[in-house]
């Protein structure tokens, strides 16, 4: 993939998490688009597909108060793109969707608050 920019979608209602996640992703050479909820994530994902520059993965916050969360968003992403790769993020690592993330269509899980090493490990395992 030398010379190719890889893009990641990062969905979280916490602006600070988006900022930190975007910094981590840029540090690893990824382009990043942040959205605050599932509805905006679906629009961004569809737009990227239509432009021919799809996201290589999406980090989706499990719980978005007042909006579409990660579980529902991942299901809809898979309808749009059956090869979509998603990472569920959550501050509650005991949530059944987080624990059994593969059963819900996700390719990985990342507990919040995350650190650079955890983020890198998930990136490597999901992009492999």
The sign one gets for the Cα dihedral 94, 105, 33, 41 is negative
Q: Where are the domains of the chain?
A: 6-77+84-123
Query: Which pTM does this prediction carry?
Result: 0.94
For the chain, what percent of residues have pLDDT higher than 90?
91
What pLDDT score does 127 carry? 85
pLDDT digits (tens, 9 = 90+) for 53-82: 999 999 999 999 999 999 999 999 999 999
- Distance (Å, whole) CA 109 – CA 67: 20
Peptide linkage before 113 cis (omega within 30 of 0): yes
> CA separation (Å) from 100 to 57, 65, 80?
18, 22, 22
pLDDT digits (tens, 9 = 90+) for 35-59: 999 999 999 999 999 999 999 999 9
pLDDT digits (tens, 9 = 90+) for 97-112: 999 999 999 999 999 9
Q: What is the dihedral of CA 105, 61, 8, 49, to 10 degrees?
A: 60
- Distance (Å, whole) CA 61 – CA 88: 6
For the chain, what percent of residues have pLDDT higher than 70?
96
Looking at the DSSP assignment, which residues form a beta bridge with residue 6? Answer: 30
CATH class of 6-77+84-123: alpha beta
């Amino acid at each position: 993939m030398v010379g190719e920019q890889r893009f990641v979608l990062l969905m979280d209602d916490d602006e600070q998490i988006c900022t930190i996640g975007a910094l981590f992703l840029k540090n690893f050479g990824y382009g990043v688009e942040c959205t605050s909820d599932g509805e905006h994530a679906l629009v961004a994902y569809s737009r990227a597909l239509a432009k021919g520059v799809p996201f290589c993965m999406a980090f989706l916050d499990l719980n978005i108060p007042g909006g579409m969360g990660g579980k529902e968003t991942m299901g809809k992403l898979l309808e749009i793109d059956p090869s979509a790769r998603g990472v569920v993020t959550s501050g509650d690592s005991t949530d059944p969707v987080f624990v059994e993330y593969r059963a819900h269509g996700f390719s990985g899980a990342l507990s919040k608050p995350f650190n650079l090493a955890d983020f890198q490990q998930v990136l490597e395992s999901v992009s492999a």
